[in-house]
Amino acid sequence: MQSVLNSVKGTALNVAEYLTPVLKESKFRETGVLTPEEFVAAGDHLVHHCPTWQWAAGDETKTKPYLPKDKQFLITRNVPCYRRCKQMEYVGEETLVEEESGDGGWVETHQLNDDGTTQLEDKICELTMEEIKDEMHTPDSEKSAPGAGAEAEDEDDDEAIDMDDFEESGMLELVDPAVATTTRKPEVESKASPAAGATGENEASGDPVLHTRTYDLHITYDKYYQTPRLWVVGYDEQRKPLTVEQMYEDVSQDHAKKTVTMESHPHLPGPNMASVHPCRHADIMKKIIQTVEEGGGQLGVHLYLIIFLKFVQTVIPTIEYDFTQNFNMS
């Protein structure tokens, strides 16, 4: 039902965007929106400071006349995603610890036992070694007799053996008991499904191999909301596209199918892509601008996309794309 509503809403917004005139006058400080020229300037600044981002032209039939032909949208490829969002969820219990003054309290996320240890045990990979018998032996070890100990006591009284005779006797070929010899057990061939890395089934079955997904990220200009818009498309280790549900595994559950929906790309043909809806972007940017100005600073419009990438990462926290410069709010 939610997908149907998103589809209807997306169609209506496409019509509204078509009818919306292009913003000509800057309203960045007043409302947190961008003109197409400001979007290009912010994109140039991002590409300069973070070369993993590049401008792209897209499909010629989808070129927007209010943007330069070679700067229709921004793209970065092969961004790693090592974990699923559910792996970041905290599974421990929280305890409210009250202050004696009664003014407030704080949350203790780690409870201690009587011996001072935490209730959450570290997951450690235990290494076990099986006893290997008869690894160190000599050819005469099985021929030892009960009286061998007595004969050994008289060895010191014998004359030293000539080295040439010792070599010719073949004694050098004996296994030195001081050297450990090991035997490798045959490895059991794994018959895991090729798609296990992409679907996450390997995690449930205890597969210790880390299967990394990668994402291509696009930033477009939304003419209706007059803000940047983020698009993502994911791939498994074999560079096969992820399904819709698999991509939702890498989206914060508070935003999946709500803030993040599947829609058609404005500059590329093909299947729908996951997109972070831009309806709140201008409000968030306006609050950031006000916070900076209250602290006596001034925020330039060229920093828009750098700040945009930072606050939108809360929606896709496991996709590690933010390698841009730091930004100080004060």
Tens of pLDDT along 115-137? Answer: 555 444 444 344 444 444 444 45
261: β partners: 275
| Cα distance between residue 34 and residue 46, in whole Å | 15
Band of pLDDT at residue 197, cut at 50, 70 and 90? very low
109/273: higher pLDDT:
273
* Per-residue pLDDT tens over the stretch 294-305: 999 999 999 999
Tell me, what's the pLDDT at 34?
97
- Residue range 102-112: average pLDDT? 45
User: Which has the closest alpha carbon to 38: 304, 231, 284?
Assistant: 304
Q: Is residue 195's pLDDT more than 70?
A: no
Task: Tell whether the model's pLDDT for residue 12 goes beyond 70.
Answer: no
Q: Identify whether the C-beta of residue 105 lies closer than 8 Å to the C-beta of residue 248.
A: no
pLDDT of 161 above 90: no
What is the per-residue pLDDT for 87? Answer: 81
Under the banding of pLDDT at 50, 70 and 90, the label for residue 232 is very high
Q: How confident is the model at residue 60 (pLDDT cuts 50, 70, 90)?
A: very high
**Dihedral, CA of residue 265, residue 271, residue 276 and residue 280, to nearest 10:** 50
Q: What is the dihedral of CA 234, 238, 244, 250, to 10 degrees?
A: -50
Which amino acid appears at position 290 of this protein?
Q
Q: Contact at 8 Å (CB) between 47 and 325? A: no
- Predicted local confidence at residue 13, as pLDDT: 59
The rounded distance, in Å, linking the Cα atoms of 184 and 45 is: 57
Amino acid at 249: E
Which residues make beta-bridge pairs with 79? 215
Judge whether residue 262 has pLDDT over 80.
yes
pLDDT of residue 108: 45
Catalytic residue among 81, 85, 125, 279: 279
Residue 160: helix, strand or coil by DSSP?
Answer: coil
Residue 279 is among the residues annotated as catalytic for this protein: yes
Confidence grade of residue 211 (pLDDT, cut at 50, 70, 90): confident
pLDDT higher for 103 or 264? 264
Positive or negative, the CA dihedral 7, 10, 12, 18 is: negative
The pLDDT score that the predictor gives to residue 227 is 97
pTM: predicted TM-score of the whole model, two decimal places: 0.62
pLDDT digits (tens, 9 = 90+) for 14-47: 666 666 889 999 999 999 999 999 999 999 999 9
Please tell me the distance from the alpha carbon of residue 56 to that of residue 77, in angstroms, as a whole number. Answer: 12
8 Å CB contact between 307 and 292 = no
Which has more confidence, 285 or 189? 285
pLDDT attached to residue 86: 84
Contact 308, 228 (CB under 8 A): yes
> Chain centroid to CA 64: how far?
33
Q: Which residue has the higher pLDDT, 234 or 104?
A: 234
Whole-number average pLDDT of the chain: 75
Predicted local confidence at residue 242, as pLDDT: 94
* Contact status, residue 276 vs residue 260, Cβ threshold 8 Å: yes
At 278 the pLDDT is 93
Strands 213-222 and 105-108: unpaired
